[in-house]
Structures are given as structure tokens and as C-alpha cells.
Structure 1
Amino acid sequence: MTRGGHSKDRADDPERKCIATGDTHPKYGLVRFVVGPDAQIVPDILGKLPGRGIWVSADRKAIEKAAKKGAFSRSAKTQVTVPDGLVDEVEKQLARRVVDLISLARKSGSAVTGYEKVKDWLSKEVAEVLIQAVDGSGRGKTKLSTPHYGSYIGWLTAEELGLAFGRQNVIHGALASGGLTKRVVEEAQRLKGVRENTAAGVVGKGKTAR
């Protein structure tokens, strides 16, 4: 079953260069870091902390490479401290960000959960994004298909989705078009890059989850 998705190109979105790979990407495809008052590298998930931004691709290996190879100090042009477990902290903050955005979408009426409600939204073409828990039953998840030209998010846990929807555990969810949906997809894509076990979900039109 296709687990597709796509996001429109944003030609007007500023690009930044990754200090680990040297590749240039739009800002929404990277993670911003700043040097804190104690000369320690701090992730700036929301992109609002003061100071000169240091950019790394939203990719686990890229962040680990930057941390191990002294790339942060070279970019900052001063000696900085990289805290242990930096990439895990980035993953934690990104997951919280995605959960918060889905929660806001739910409160605005742009998100639903529950197999039957999600199925109804899909059949009526209301849903633009299908969300399923990475640790949910594979058999149950295959009964729902990603919206045509829509997106699929499949690397949040049932507990994380439960937090987003105000329940204990959630397996199926859906987002309507408009509102916060585009931001949810972009932030989820960043999370996918830094989360170790993302094999159950793939963003990208025509891609298949394995």
C-alpha cells in the first residue's frame, strides 16, 4: 500500500548551509543551534533564540558528525561545548513540537482520531494527512490508505499520539488541509530524520513504507 505524501516547494524560503555535510537546504529542512551563555551548544527547534544560528541538516548522522568532528566550534569561531546526547535531545524536542502542533490542530477541529472517524475523513477526501502509530498493529494500519497527493506520518508512538489527542494511546489519526497541517508535516519530516526507527513511515509521494 502506498504511504505517500508531498510538500510544495517553497522557493522563497531562505536556505542555509549544513555545517556537517556542506549541503544547502531550505531552513525547514535543518535544525538551528545557538551558543548559550555558558558556551554550550543549544538546539533551537523553534528558531527564536538570540544569537547567530548554526545550521545542521535534520538528520541524525549529520548532527552526530557535527558533534564529533568539531564542526560547531569551527562554525562559531570559538571553542564550544557539545553536550552528551545532543541528537537525542533534538529528537525529544522535535517530537514534543509535532505533538503540540497536532494537539492545536485537534483543538481547532482540523484533526480527528479513531479508526472509523479517520476512515470517514479519508472516504470523503477531507483528510490530507494520515497519521498512524509506529507501534500500532500492522494489520490494522494497512486497512487505511494515504490520501491521494497527501502525506503519511508513521513514526510517532501510540503514546505520543495519545498526548496529541488527549487520550492514553492512539493508533490512527488524520489532518484536514489548511491550518497547521503543512507545519505538522514539515516538523514531522524533521523528526523522521533524527529518529532512529522510522522504517514504518516515509514521507514523499509514491514512497512505500516497509
Structure 2
Amino acid sequence: MKAATLKEGSERSCVLTRAVKAPDDLIRFVAGPDGTLVPDLRRKLPGRGVWASLSRKAVTEAIRRKAFERSLKTKVAVPADLPEMIDALMLRDVQQALSMANKAGLVVAGFGKVEALIETGRCLAVIAASDGAEDGKRKIGQAIRRAEAARESEGLKVRRLPVVTIFAAADLELALGRAHVIHAALAPGPAAEGVLSRWRRLVRYRTDDTAASDQNEPEDTTEPAGPNAE
């Protein structure tokens, strides 16, 4: 079968609500060779695709209503843990992107280096281990506020700095290939933007944010017709 392709600007509809959205606001699914429904996060798998809103709640409800089976018009096995599977795949996607950004030299680790990058005004995002000490999180917050205040005093535009908290320390160590990582930060660059793009999608999935938006950058949401199928 030929791999799926999407034209720029094309739209699809949610298998649950039939709302027409851009692909970035949806998740694509296909039936695998064994007849099991597979999430296609990169939108490249072959076969007829169906789409659901970028929302764990929407996927869960689509399973309950058997919307995937009706739309595909074929018998398909839908894993009961599909919402959790998608979450795990998206988390791994962010972790892999972070590893690539690190190889590109766009990641610094360690409280001192993170604080220094924040002070330069060139910090794209801060990454804090979810299981790190509360005192460390407080100090990072203070460093961010000091940098914002300094820019304001100079009459410069203040950009709210994203704080990514989806990783445990062990996940950060694995992604960065170094031990004892509690704080890290991203410097500007395409690979770092890729980390944030994937992170935002995961946060939107978890928080059931079915509308296209650029959140806080959050601290860490019957058969369709028309554009739903391909």
C-alpha cells in the first residue's frame, strides 16, 4: 500500500464530533495488518485513515461509541488501553526530540547553567524534573521572574517562558545521556522548537484542549463523512 500523504492546508473531520479541523488539531488512526487500530502520530502509515480530536477525552468517547469501527467500515480491534498508548507514544516522541536537541548542542543541564541561560534572555524553555525537590522548582521560578523583571526594566518585550514538567529525572537522564539531571533548558534552534511542538501536542491531548491554541505554554487536553477519511 502507498504511504499516506497530506496536502498542505488540507483538513479532516473528527470521527466523534465531525468537526472539521487542521491535521495538527487531530490524531490519525489506521487499521494495522492484523486488524488492530493503530495511532499514526506522524501521519505517514499506509491505508485509509480516520481522525479524532487531539484529546484523550475524545479518543475515549470514540472508543465507547465504536466510532472508529463505523468510520472504517470494517471489523477492527480497538485496544482498550488506546488512550494510554497514545499518551505513552507522545511522551516518547517528546523525549526523542529532546535527545536530538541535545545532540544539536541546544540543551544545557544543571541549575547553574540553566539559570545563566535564563539570564541571557536566550532561553527558549526550562525543563524541570517532575520528581525534583520543591526548593529547586522554587529557585528556578525565581530565576525566571528575575529575568522577566530585568527585561521589563529595560523596556523589552517579556515572553512567558515555558516550563516543561512532563519528565521524571530518570527520563531526563535517558534523553540527555547524563546522570543526575533535575533541571535543563533549551537554547533557540529548530531542534529545540521541535521539542516544544511535540510537548504542546501532548499537553493539549492530556488537558482535552480540542481547539487550536498556544497554551501557557501549559505547565504541563455516528459515522463522519467528508474529509474524515482518505
Where on the TM-score scale, by shorter chain, does this alignment land: which range?
0.7 to 0.9
Q: Please report how far the alpha carbon of residue 162 of structure 1 lies from its aligned counterpart in structure 2 after TM superposition.
A: 1.7
TM-score (norm 1): 0.80
Q: Please report how far the alpha carbon of residue 167 of structure 1 lies from its aligned counterpart in structure 2 after TM superposition.
A: 2.7
The question of 1:142 aligning with 2:138 is answered: yes
User: Structure 1 counterpart of 2:24, which letter?
Assistant: Y
Distance in 1 of aligned mates of 2:180 and 2:57:
30
The 5 Å alignment of 1:84-123 reads: 84-123=80-119
Distance in 2 of aligned mates of 1:151 and 1:111:
15
TM-score (norm 2): 0.74
Q: Please report how far the alpha carbon of residue 33 of structure 1 lies from its aligned counterpart in structure 2 after TM superposition.
A: 1.1
> Which protein is richer in strand relative to its size?
1
Q: Is the 8 A contact 1:33 1:53 kept in 2?
A: yes
Greater than 6 Å deviation, 4+ residue runs: 206-209
Q: Please report how far the alpha carbon of residue 90 of structure 1 lies from its aligned counterpart in structure 2 after TM superposition.
A: 1.1
| 1:183 aligned residue | 194
Distance in 2 of aligned mates of 1:114 and 1:25:
40
Tell me how large the CA RMSD over aligned residues is.
Answer: 2.4
| 1:174 aligned residue | 185
Q: Please report how far the alpha carbon of residue 101 of structure 1 lies from its aligned counterpart in structure 2 after TM superposition.
A: 0.5
The 5 Å alignment of 1:39-54 reads: 39-54=35-50
| 1:155 aligned residue | 166
| 2:67 aligned residue | 71
Higher mean alpha-carbon deviation, 19-28 vs 66-75, is at 19-28
* Higher CA-based Rg: 2
Q: Cα 1:13–1:184, aligned 2, differ >3 Å: closer, same or farther?
A: farther
Q: Is the 8 A contact 1:60 1:194 kept in 2?
A: yes
User: Structure 2 counterpart of 1:166, which letter?
Assistant: G
SS in 2 for 1:173: strand
> Which protein is richer in helix relative to its size?
2
Identity over the aligned pairs, expressed in percent?
36
Q: Please report how far the alpha carbon of residue 169 of structure 1 lies from its aligned counterpart in structure 2 after TM superposition.
A: 4.6
